[in-house]
Amino acid sequence: MSRVCLFPGTFDPVTLGHTDIINRALPLFDKIIVGIGLNPAKAPMFSVEQRMEWFREIYKNESKIEVHAYDGLTVNFCKTIGANFILRGIRFVSDFEYEKTIADANRTLDKSIETVFLTVEPRFTSVASTIVRDILRHHGDVSSFLPAEVIRSLKQ
């Protein structure tokens, strides 16, 4: 059985924290599917197409990475794509408490899907999409928070 992992999130925008988790998870899985969740309760700054394009550009030379958009329950999307793992990044203890609650709910819904937590490198703990969006709105410098591919596209 191959180890297929879903890394779900809104990724609005894609940050160095996101790519840190993906890069360190690569040796653990046969395939990582980045799942951009479509959440009607959120009004994203960037289109889902833009966010997908960023991941495709960042990982254009990595055959183990795919990018898809999805809506509905994450465990249902896992079934659709054949993922038996969900990958989540943890920055702080408070993240763990929140993420564990979701992992417990997902395990109740489908016992065959295991959630794997990776802690973010310490230098990326302050990198949150919410903060990056706020800096962008106020025309601040986000270069230390975002991958080069994202920065290039923002300058266009």
Q: In sequence order, which residues have a C-beta less than 8 Å from that of residue 151 and are 6 or more positions away?
A: 142, 143
Q: Which of 82, 44, 49 is nearest to 68 (CA)?
A: 49
Beta carbons of 45 and 12 less than 8 angstroms apart: yes
pLDDT band at 55 (very low <50, low <70, confident <90, very high): very high
For the sheet with 31-37, list strands across it: 65-70, 31-37, 4-9, 85-90, 114-119
Does pLDDT of 1 surpass 80?
Answer: no
Q: What global pTM score does this model have?
A: 0.94
Annotated binding residues for ATP, written as ranges, equal 10-11, 18, 89-91, 99, 124-130
Give me 27's structure tokens.
């040796």
pLDDT digits (tens, 9 = 90+) for 84-140: 999 999 998 888 999 999 999 999 999 999 999 999 998 988 888 889 999 999 999
> Residues with catalytic annotation?
18, 42, 91, 129
> Which residues fall in the annotated binding site for substrate?
10, 42, 74, 88
